[in-house]
Structures are given as structure tokens and as C-alpha cells.
A and B are shown apart, each in its own frame.
Chain A
């Protein structure tokens, strides 16, 4: 595997971060959000919490999809935070046509919209379905897998904040081991979510041999935009899994959303990669590897790991998971290969 997405030789990082300043990259590669003429899929005034990773991820993703299609998109939404905070009746934040049906059927509804566009001869209108991790990896999984295997012309974006946040932070199949949620309390001899459970949806999506699968993060917004634009240039079923910290559910500071998202990738727990037709085609190399503690410590959901000596073995186990990712996706290769 090599970093085929590598384009820029010299990096200009903003101070104290690994974010490339918008004004320092050439115009063609500047963020959608940096443009005066930027699209605006989700307008301000919605009811998301301060520091909401999902609101940020959805805005960047949908704006990029709008730019890639000349505004010719229809959005479908699963029930969840994004649906609730963008449409408090009678208001709506959506500047694109938007349909919410149920919690578990966003992928199927999107398939229906795509079918209607095909039959109406309006295939220039593209469909983006969205859901949280619960709506995607759990209750919506059947419909999602069906949409994948039929290779319907839908981009499905999962905003993964690793639990059911809208209902008050319950465990989902995307919740990491040891994380405290309302249904995996930090109590007893094995506090938090248990090891050896959960599913890796990007890999499952790849197993469907669909044209495009990617993971992305709100810490790498240029990369997220690029992946969405790439996905919109492809026909068929596509899947992007975006890592979106949730200050409320994770017990983290609102101003730490981007930092935590970056640490999740830099420690190896959330690898950033892309795949076409079931084969991995690229990944973002870790620039400066950090121990998992750096990522875990600022979050109250992992506080029990640091309370006394008990957490050491569990932290080590999480570190082994991160190291396995680093090996599997070759994340510690030469930094020269690292893409933007």
C-alpha cells in the first residue's frame, strides 16, 4: 500500500496543529468553506450542541457534495441528532431538498429516490443518505447492506460518534471497548463497554465490493471534502464513515472536538483510509504517533481507566488495538508519502 493520494511536497501547518492553512494552499485545492461562493447545505441557527462534531462533518460533507454536483443533490436522513437539531418544526436548516422517514431505513429511502431520478431521466440529481452510527451500524444495517449489494447510486455517509447520543448516550455496535455509556456503565469489575464486541462497518462495506469506501474525520476537513467530491464523481453505492466527536456523550470540552478527532487518528484507533471495489487504495499516515492515553484522557467516558491502577491493562489492550490498525493499514510509513 502506498499513499497514492499524496500531492503536496511542502506542508504549511497552522501553529500547534497539523492542519494546512487554507490561505497557504493553491486556490484549486482550497476548502469549499473558504470560498465566498461556497454552497450552504445546512445553514446556521440549528440546535446542535456547542462543539458538535456531527454538525461540522455534515456541513462540510454536504457542501462538498453540492459543489461536486452543481447543487443537484437530494439528502435523505435517518432519525437521530442531525435530523432533530436541523428541523425543529417549523424551521429547517436544510438548503437542499431533504427527506426524513425513519431511524432504520435511510439507505432504502435513498435507493427509492435514486430509482425515481433514474426513471424520470434526471440522473444528474444525486442522492446522499446520512445517519449516525446507531442508524447505520445497528438499526439501519439491513437496509444499508441491501443498498450496497444492489449497487444503488447512493452516497451513504455515517457520522460516527460511537453511541446513541440523541437518546442519551447508549451503547451502539460502534462504541469502543471500555467506553462508558448509559447502558455500559463504568461500574463493576469490567467497567464500560466490553472488549471483543462491535463491528467495523467500513470493512463490511468493502466486503460488498462497492465502488468506493472511505473513512474520514472532522480533524481532516480537506480530506473529508476531497473524499466526498471523489465519491460524487463515481456512480453506484458509496460509503463514507466520518469520525465526529460528541462533547456531550464523551464528556469532553466543546473546544476539544477537532483535537480529539485528530488524536483518535494519530494514535491509530481511527485509521483514515479509502478503498475502491474492495481494495484499499490509500491511507493517511500518522505524522506523530501518540499513545492512546493522550486520546483517552480528555474524555470522561474513559475516566475510569485512569482512576487507579486497574485501568492499566485495559489501556494496554486498547493500545494493542491501535497498533494492530497501524500495522493493518500501514499508517507509520515514511511521512513523505503522507497526503494532505
Chain B
């Protein structure tokens, strides 16, 4: 049924339809509305046969999930930002144990300075934990990806993060087609665990593995994610057959026929970029867009093929590796190894800085003219940055940078860009 609904609530409905058996909840903005709504759906009987556990930390949330998943229950949790980092040890552990837990990330910046708004620093920090990471472009896709995520996780016995941009998606009201229970039941079979804790067939899970076998175990974790490169499109097709909608997959291509410049991005930003690209096409520009859905595994071959006709690639990303540059951009360069295509790194939207069509258009024009430095920071106020660099150089006791800048720009609202 088509509903005008908040992103978080659409996801909660998708979770409910997926018949979860254990949900662990710990509040952190901006994912909190999801687990709140799950709690309500359980209380009113819309989710049946499900344990909802209010835990004392994100580390406990994922640890409870590890226990319930290993004991054979379909398990869900959600987090963001500091919460994801607080559970980091358990994130690696869940993947190492091969437990098909599904977790939403309401993507948010990481402090200090503390910031509740959207960027991709959180899930990027855990990109190599062995989880499948899917990024939603819209709330419809966010809801759909959760239903797909359980199937994907359970088929491969690997955990899946569904990443959706904090506030931009989680708190936005959009039209979302909510599937029927019959559709979801036809798509998603009951969870049949590969390994289970059962007194009638006891075995040990989580034994110590030394140098004699550790390499092989890790290789198999790598291999499992490479298998996902094949399984994700299969599930995309199975989903389309039942729900009549193209959702998920490895990446989405937009106006890629004869594109000379291609913007590669992830998440909700793709919508803004596509609108702008439509406008630019009216003026004869040949710009295409690729928005990645599967960031881990990273579709190296698929991307290389999709970008074969491009002479310029602009990677537009909401993450920064300090002392290095772009995170996504470096992955895209890996896909284009040995190909003579110029790759620009554009870092944008950190900590919720708005990414406007105007700024993007200006940046694209500079890229066309070959004036873009690498990495480029979209809408960075260089005056403030230079003054603070001078300030820090000038005195040992210059004080904390973030607070100095706040003092300088005064108690006003964020600068309009």
C-alpha cells in the first residue's frame, strides 16, 4: 500500500514484515525512531513472536544479537555514529562468526566535535569488518533493502548493514509503497541457520584459531563477500519478480549512455545529483551518474565496465580519511587501475553541511575546466580555515580548534551557501 510515511517508520514496517524474532534497541540519533516504532509494533501485536530487548549500550545491543542469532533467531538492531564505533568489536565478531544479523545504520558524523547530522564517516569506519554494506538512495529503497537484507544475510550466513542517510532519509516523509505480508512471505523464507546452539547436537562456536588456520578462515570471509557480488543481483531480480520494483543491486546507473563525465556517489545524494544532471543535459552536457548500493562488497569489475566510456570521473563522497583524502574515491581508483581516466575526489556534506545544486554545478564547471584540486572540499570556507591555521601556528596555547571557530563565526545559524 502506498503511504506517506517517515523513513524510519517505513523501515520499521519493513522489519515487521520480515518477521524478526529478536530486536535489540539502544537509542542514538538519528536511528531512534526505527526501534521506537518496532517497540510499538510489538506492543500492539503487529509483530508477533518477537523479543524486544532494551539494552544498556550499543556494545550490548550487538552482543545480544550475536547470542540470539547464534541460537537460531532472526535478529535485528539499528545504530549510528558513536554507537557503531562503541560496538565496533562486536561488529567484527558478528562477521567472524558468520551470523546473519541485519542492522540499520542511520548514517551520522563522528565526533569530536560532536555532531548529530549526516555523513558517511560511521559506516565507512567499519567498512572492512566483514559485513555487507548496502546504501539506500530513497526511503522506498531503504524499506526494500531491509527485506532483501535478511534474505541476503541468511543465504550467505553473513551480517548486513543497511545504511540510510541520517535525517535526510530517516526523518523525511516520502511516499513509500509498503509491501503486503503475503509478498514478503513469498520472498523471504523462514531463517534456517547454518550453525545453531542446540543441546541435542552440541558444538563449540568461537574457538581460538592460531596461525595454522587463521589465514584460511580470513580468506573464506573475503570469499563470502565476493560471493555476495553474485547473490546481490540475484536477490534484486527475485525482489523485482515479486514486488514489481527495481530496488537494490550493486549500483544504479543514470544517463550513462554516451556519458563522458560520470559522477559516482552513494546514498540520498544521488537524487540531488540526478536532478542537476537532468538540467545540465538540457545544455548539452554529457554527464552520467552511478550511485553505489553495495559498498561492501565493492563491485570493482562492474564499476570498471560501467565507467569504460568515461574520460572523467567525479567521486562525490561524504567521508574523509584525514591525512589521505577520499575513501570512496580510492576504491573507485582501484576499479580503474590501469585505465587512463581522471578521477576527482570531492568531499562534501560532512557533518550535515547542505549539498546544494548550485554548489555542485559550480564544482562540475570547474572540473570541466580542469581547475579542481584533489581532493576538493565542497563549500569549504577557506578564510576561516586559514585564520585558524595562523592562530594555531602563532601560539602554543591557542585553545581548541572547534571552539575557536565557533567563537569566530558567532552565535548565528549555519552560513547559507
A, B co-complexed: yes
Residue in contact with B202 in the complex, picked from A96, A108, A143, CB distance below 8 Å: A96
Question: Hey, which chain A residues are within 8 Å of B66, CB to CB?
Answer: 101, 105, 109, 112
Q: Considering the complex, which residues of chain B in the window 63-121 have a beta carbon less than 8 Å from any beta carbon of chain A?
A: 63-73, 75, 89-90, 93, 97
The answer, among B70, B93, B201, B208, for a CB contact under 8 Å with A102, is: B93
Whether A111 sits at the interface, judged by CB under 8 Å, is yes
Q: Which of A72, A73, A77, A100 has the most CB of B within 10 A?
A: A100
For the complex, would chain B's binding face be called helix, strand, loop or mixed by DSSP majority? Answer: mixed
Instruction: Using A74-B199, A83-B208 as known contacts, say yes or no to A110 and B51 having CB atoms under 8 A apart.
Output: no
Contact A116 B59 (CB under 8 A): no
- Nearest A residue to B206 by beta-carbon distance? A100
Q: B197 near A97 (CB under 8 angstroms)?
A: yes
Task: For A115, list chain B residues within 8 Å (CB).
Answer: 22, 51, 53, 64, 67-68, 73
In the bound assembly, the distance between CA atoms of A80 and B89 in angstroms comes to: 16
Residues of the A chain whose Cβ atoms lie less than 8 Å from the Cβ of B60? 105, 108, 111, 142-143, 146
Across-interface contacts of B65 in A (CB, < 8 A): 112
A76 to B206, CA, bound (A): 10
Is A20 among interface residues, defined by CB-CB distance under 8 A? Answer: no
B50 at interface by CB-CB < 8 Å: yes
A64 to B93, CA, bound (A): 30
Complex: chain B residue closest to A110, CB-CB = B67
Interface check A263, CB cutoff 8 A:
no
- How far, in Å, is A197 (CB) from chain B's closest CB? 24
Q: Is the CB of A111 within 8 A of B50?
A: no
CB-contacts of B47-64 with A (<8 A)? 49-51, 53-57, 59-60, 63-64
17 interchain pairs (CB within 8 A)? A87-B207, A97-B201, A97-B202, A98-B206, A101-B97, A102-B89, A102-B90, A108-B64, A111-B64, A112-B70, A115-B53, A119-B49, A119-B50, A125-B199, A142-B56, A146-B56, A146-B60
Known: A87-B206, A99-B204, A112-B22; 16 extra A-B contacts, CB below 8 A, are: A74-B71, A74-B199, A94-B204, A97-B205, A98-B202, A98-B203, A108-B55, A108-B64, A112-B70, A116-B22, A117-B71, A118-B51, A119-B68, A142-B56, A142-B57, A146-B55
Chain A contact residues, CB within 8 Å of chain B: 71-74, 76-77, 83-84, 87-90, 92, 94-102, 104-105, 108-120, 125, 142-143, 145-146, 149-150
**Chain B residues packing against A (C-beta within 8 Å):** 21-22, 24, 49-51, 53-57, 59-60, 63-73, 75, 89-90, 93, 97, 197-199, 201-210, 212-213
The 4 closest A-B pairs by CB, nearest first: A112-B67, A100-B206, A116-B71, A108-B63
